[in-house]
Structure 1
């Protein structure tokens, strides 16, 4: 809907309140329910929102190492702007109208910490270069017969999975929880997050969903909304869903793979496809892929933003550890899918389900465009065997600290996203490392309590 259509819809349906939210640096939706009058008043000048939402971490603990906001600024309001084109109704909440917002003002100046604003800038660069970017993110996540209260009572230990055993692609297991399973598919689709496929993955209580592809910003919006929507639908069934990258060392991790391709502006031609090439890859596709390979060491925290992300990025765990690419090879960081002219695309396999989709997708698109702008050559051969063993082009950083430090010092990262964003984002990641470094884990207690 455009602005006029949204306003007409609200008036004709006598709507009294709406809901809106925006994503913080971790991709967590922060929002409010507001009156329709408040919505109308804020369309031009924005709606004030305390900027502490960009000054604290995922547990609402305030950072001590960022300059954008803090005790030194008094945590003032910053104006956020509702994007009326994102309107949808929430079918499991009495169809209340819902909108996404960001921190890009009418003058196109944006708050450096706003991830949606950042992706909008990269998407505009893509459009200005003459391309239409088509994206989709897919997610794996684990489900438990728990509630927020029981999780706290149990101290996040001895949790009961939704179903036992390793049942990937199981018809049997989904029939046991069919009300939840079909609610996910049906309600997400009603929420304008169309699902291409939904199935169990291998592991107790784990599902995977592929979201239908769309224009890049719309795809990221759907990915951000998907994670919160799944959790809300799960709550209705007495189920707790987690998008941690790796919740258990003995089980597979949860991916958040990104599928992408560039098309002509009228969407009539897939510019990644070339029938004459041995791998069906156009020169543009090769440059885009080369850009991602080149930029990957500089941008890894945007794909792997938490301490837990790096527990998933280990050998033999269906997640990459090396800077590699291949044709339909699931052991490499980048997987080329070339099954048909319309389906040819690149899959970036580094992200886990714990990503902020706006940042992960911005990293993928910006680095691909970097390769095109600089006409980078794809001078490494595709990996045709075990990508874990191919370290000829280097390996991924093994920890959040190493990855964040490299990004903080990277001229490439600052060129792509600006110094303001890089400084703020990497400082939040280094804060995350410091919180982990001073914690005492169950592993340490079990290993050292008696024996040392």
Structure 2
């Protein structure tokens, strides 16, 4: 739609309001409703949005370790610019108009801590090299027969899954909850978050969805909106959806695999594909893979951002633990798929469902481009068989504290994302670890209360 068509739609919509949102550092959409009059005014001048969205954690607890904002700054407004290209109608809210935005600094330059702005910066670097990045993210998540109230009353203990049993690719289970599943597929499509596929995974109440691929910025927008939309649609059905990486020790974790390819902007050819090469992998694709393998230890918090992320990254649980790659191998960190020119791509399997899509996609793209810019050679052979036992290139950091320390100390991360972003992001992850370190868990009570 043109800007004029959008303005006409908003003016004629009976609700008299517009909904907008932007992602914080954790990928949580923070937003509000605006009157039509206020929205129209925002088209001429940016909105003011309290910068506390980058001054608190996922539970709205104010950081005490970040210089970006805090009590010392008074939590002023920061400019929020709406991207009219993100216009959507929310089908489960009577087609209320919706927009995504991004944050700027006071002088109008892109905010160095805004995830969407960071991704746009990396995409710009890709285009300067002559490559248009196309991406897609797929998600696994669990659904529960709970409400926020019921789960709080149960103190988050023993949530009831939507359906029972370990039943991957089940036709029966998707029929059992068909109203919800049909709504997901149909309403997401109408919300311009189209799905390629939707099916049950192995575990009670768990599903997997693959989002249709697109240019990298649109892919991140879709992935971010997908997570919130699924939760909202679940609410409508008296359910709760969780994208927690690992909610139960006995069950598989939830991935957020990122699929990616680069296309030549002039020839419109997929530069990852080489029909004359034995494995159909181009030299550029090999450099891209080499870049990710090299950078993974230094960007891991952007792919595994929470304490819980690392409970998923354990051996034999369908998530990688080693710095490996392979051809159509689901036990390695980087899975290469080269069926044809159109479909040839790299799947980064480290990424969990709890990730911020803007940061995960920015990290994957920046790391791959690093390999191309540095002319890295893919010297490590493809892993054949079990990637969990291939230690030839090392293993990934085992927890958030270790991963954040490697990122903070790395010159690579600062080169890829800038010192300001790395400092702020690492401080938020260090804060996350501090909150975890002082918590007394059920595991500790059961292990030490009586015996020690």
| TM-score band, normalised by shorter chain | over 0.9
Secondary structure of 2:94's aligned partner = coil
More displaced stretch, 118-127 vs 107-116: 107-116
CA distance in 2 between counterparts of 1:410 and 1:37 reads: 47
Structure 1 unpaired stretches of 5+:
none
TM-score of the pair, normalised by structure 1: 0.98
Aligned to 1:102: 102
* Deviations 1:83-123 (CA, angstroms, capped at 9, x unpaired): 01100000001110000000147976111221001001111
Q: Is 1:385 matched with 2:385?
A: yes
More displaced stretch, 85-94 vs 257-266: 257-266
Aligned to 2:27: 27
Aligned to 1:123: 123
Aligned to 2:362: 362
Aligned residues: 452
1:43 Cα offset (Å): 2.1
Q: 1:111 to 1:261 in 2, by over 3 A?
A: same
Secondary structure of 2:93's aligned partner = coil
Aligned to 1:198: 198
Aligned to 2:214: 214
More displaced stretch, 107-116 vs 196-205: 107-116
1:27 Cα offset (Å): 0.2
Aligned to 2:436: 436
1:268 Cα offset (Å): 3.1
Aligned to 1:65: 65
CA distance in 2 between counterparts of 1:448 and 1:12 reads: 64
Kindly report which structure 2 residues correspond to 1:186-335, keeping only aligned pairs within 5 A, or say none: 186-265=186-265, 268-335=268-335
Aligned to 1:446: 446
More displaced stretch, 370-379 vs 136-145: 370-379
1:12 Cα offset (Å): 5.0
Structure 2 unpaired stretches of 5+:
none
Aligned to 2:6: 6
Aligned to 1:170: 170
CA distance in 1 between counterparts of 2:212 and 2:403 reads: 31
Secondary structure of 1:25's aligned partner = coil
More displaced stretch, 267-276 vs 47-56: 267-276
1:445 Cα offset (Å): 0.9
CA distance in 2 between counterparts of 1:27 and 1:358 reads: 7
1:15 Cα offset (Å): 6.2
* Deviations 1:349-386 (CA, angstroms, capped at 9, x unpaired): 00110000000000000111111111111111000111
1:45 Cα offset (Å): 2.5
Q: Is the 8 A contact 1:280 1:338 kept in 2?
A: yes
Q: Is 1:397 matched with 2:397?
A: yes
Secondary structure of 1:57's aligned partner = coil
Q: Is the 8 A contact 1:15 1:36 kept in 2?
A: no
CA distance in 2 between counterparts of 1:308 and 1:267 reads: 43
1:451 Cα offset (Å): 1.5
Q: Is the 8 A contact 2:90 2:97 kept in 1?
A: yes
CA distance in 1 between counterparts of 2:228 and 2:180 reads: 15
More displaced stretch, 156-165 vs 40-49: 40-49
1:191 Cα offset (Å): 0.4
* Deviations 1:308-346 (CA, angstroms, capped at 9, x unpaired): 000000000000001110000101000000112211100
CA distance in 2 between counterparts of 1:140 and 1:13 reads: 35
Q: Is the 8 A contact 1:2 1:85 kept in 2?
A: no
Q: 1:98 to 1:106 in 2, by over 3 A?
A: farther
More displaced stretch, 11-20 vs 22-31: 11-20
CA distance in 2 between counterparts of 1:57 and 1:383 reads: 38
1:138 Cα offset (Å): 0.1
1:270 Cα offset (Å): 1.0
CA distance in 2 between counterparts of 1:357 and 1:61 reads: 22
CA distance in 1 between counterparts of 2:266 and 2:16 reads: 39
Aligned to 1:93: 93
Secondary structure of 2:249's aligned partner = coil
Cα RMSD between the aligned structures? 1.3
CA distance in 2 between counterparts of 1:300 and 1:66 reads: 21
Kindly report which structure 2 residues correspond to 1:135-150, keeping only aligned pairs within 5 A, or say none: 135-150=135-150
* Deviations 1:1-44 (CA, angstroms, capped at 9, x unpaired): 34333223323556621000000000000000001221121224
* Deviations 1:168-218 (CA, angstroms, capped at 9, x unpaired): 000011111000010000000010000000000000000000000000000
CA distance in 2 between counterparts of 1:97 and 1:63 reads: 33
1:132 Cα offset (Å): 1.0
